[in-house]
A = this chain, B = another copy of it.
Amino acid sequence: MNVTGHTRRSVSIRDVATAAGVSYQTVSRVINNHPSVKPSTRDRVLAAIDELGFRRNSTALALASGRSRAVTVLTSNTTHYGYASILQGIEETARAAAYSVGVGVLESTDEADEAAIAAQVQRAADSGGGLIVIAYDPAGVRALGAVPAELPVVGVVETPASPPGDDRPWVWADDREAAYEATRHLLSLGHETVHYVAIPSSTRRTSARTTGWQQALREAGAPEPLPLQGSWGPAGGHTAGLQLAQDTDVTAILCGNDDLALGVIRALHEAGRPVPGEVSVAGFDDAPHSAYLTPSLTTVRLDFTGLGRSAFALLHGALEESAQIAPHPVSVPELVVRESSGPPPARG
């Protein structure tokens, strides 16, 4: 019942101690639920705490104990639906565990930001606590690589095919499987093959999504066209779409994310190729607006929030032996069939 408020200098455990007529250590025991405190004493201390409006100073706690109960999330562009959802999932779980969440944005201005990335990692390391790196894109992957070995870190990665020597814990959604399903869906509609507009790959090698797409094509004995390199936003999809629209053989396109798909559909529209009449398009991620597009978008839903939750749980386990290490379940991607995919046009 701290009615007075306005305590300029914060009240410390020593203030509480004198108020309760005990030593500061006893107060420390009370706030840490140490068993060996006489109930009557405990009550007295708790009363004093309530009276003075004491709140434990987390900075001092961090300094003295070493553990800071903080996570820093390193990510590029938080405005992308997937990234934002992961962040949301992390925050939610972290909050439940009384952890604070920090954010560091990786400017993915392509080149020369190697130093900037290193600086961000350093900053995150300095602020103590654990680290979660969203490594879906080159900037994230480089950041993950730049994390000093002794720092507790969890990567949210595109594929578990970790680089050699990388034994860091990670979580991932099964992008390969998702792409595989989406591609099979399009093939099952009767398309001869499926083209692919890729998001910037997180690795030098081919991405998980690309792999899943290729696998589906191969199993079906379909021709394997070269993937088109897109960007993250709809603009990249638009460019790629204009290009694909030229080729009348193209009847099905899988896109690395929903934004790309949007751009592709727009380009096809501009080129006079109706979707799904002439060309079918499928996206990736199931962003909230995808269901309301015209045509509504066939896509693969991934549980980003759950991914964030798993990432934190894993980190939490690494940080505190007390926390049980929840196995990081690879959530199964779910194909959502909507209007943008349909059978190919009858052969002319």
Within 8 A of B (CB), among A158-193: none
Query: When the two chains form the complex, which single residue of B79, B88, B104, B291 contacts A77, counting CB atoms closer than 8 Å?
Result: B88
Q: Specify which chain B residues have a CB less than 8 angstroms from the CB of A87 in the assembled complex.
A: 78, 103
A224 — which chain B residues lie within 8 A by C-beta? none
Query: Of residues 119 to 170 in A, which have CB atoms within 8 Å of B's CB atoms?
Result: 120, 122-123, 126-128, 148-150
A263 interface hit (Cβ, 8 Å): yes
Distance, CA A263 to CA B262, complexed state (A): 15
Q: 1/0 per residue A91-113: CB within 8 Å of B? A: 11001000011111100000000
Report how many residues on chain A are interfacial, defined by Cβ distance under 8 Å. 57
Contact A105-B91, Cβ < 8 Å, known A63-B60, A150-B8, A259-B288 = yes
Binary interface profile of A, 301-338, with partner B (CB < 8 Å = 1, else 0)?
00000000000000000000000000000000000000
A38 at the interface (CB under 8 A from B): no
* A79 engages B68 (CB within 8 Å): no
- A238: Cβ under 8 A from any B Cβ: yes
Cβ-defined contact, B104 with A91, below 8 A: yes
Pick the contact of A294 from B68, B233, B237, B294 — CB < 8 Å? Answer: B294
| Contact present for A262 and B289 (CB under 8 Å) | yes
Give the complex CA separation of A129 and B100 in angstroms. 13
Per-position binary interface string of chain A over residues 31-69, scored 1 when its CB falls under 8 Å from any chain B CB and 0 otherwise: 000000000000000000000000111111011000010
B105 close to A102 (CB less than 8 A): no
Q: Does A272 contact B (CB under 8 A)?
A: no
Complex-state Cα separation, A4 to B122, whole angstroms: 17
- In the bound complex, do residue A88 and residue B92 qualify as a contact, i.e. CB atoms below 8 Å apart? no
A84, CB-defined interface residue at 8 Å:
yes
Cβ-neighbour of A293 out of B58, B68, B262 (below 8 A): B262
Among candidates B59, B84, B123, B262, residue contacting A292 with C-beta atoms closer than 8 Å = B262
Using Cβ atoms and an 8 Å threshold, which residues of chain B touch A221? none
Complex interface: chain B residues within 8 A of A104 (CB): 91, 95, 101
Q: Is A85 an interface residue (CB 8 A)?
A: yes
- A79-B288, A265-B294 given. 14 additional CB < 8 A pairs? A5-B148, A57-B63, A59-B62, A59-B128, A72-B100, A78-B87, A78-B88, A79-B84, A88-B105, A95-B105, A101-B103, A234-B288, A263-B292, A266-B292
In the A-B complex, the 6 residue pairs with the smallest Cβ-Cβ separation, listed nearest first, are A234-B292, A79-B84, A266-B292, A91-B105, A59-B62, A59-B63
Q: List 26 A-B contacts (CB under 8 A).
A: A55-B122, A55-B126, A56-B126, A57-B63, A58-B128, A59-B59, A59-B68, A59-B128, A60-B63, A77-B88, A78-B84, A78-B88, A79-B81, A91-B104, A91-B105, A92-B105, A95-B105, A95-B120, A100-B102, A100-B123, A100-B127, A234-B291, A234-B292, A262-B289, A269-B294, A294-B294
Binding site for B on A (CB under 8 A): 5-6, 8, 55-60, 62-63, 68, 72, 77-79, 81, 84-85, 87-88, 91-92, 95, 100-105, 120, 122-123, 126-128, 148-150, 233-235, 237-238, 259, 262-263, 265-266, 269, 288-289, 291-294, 296
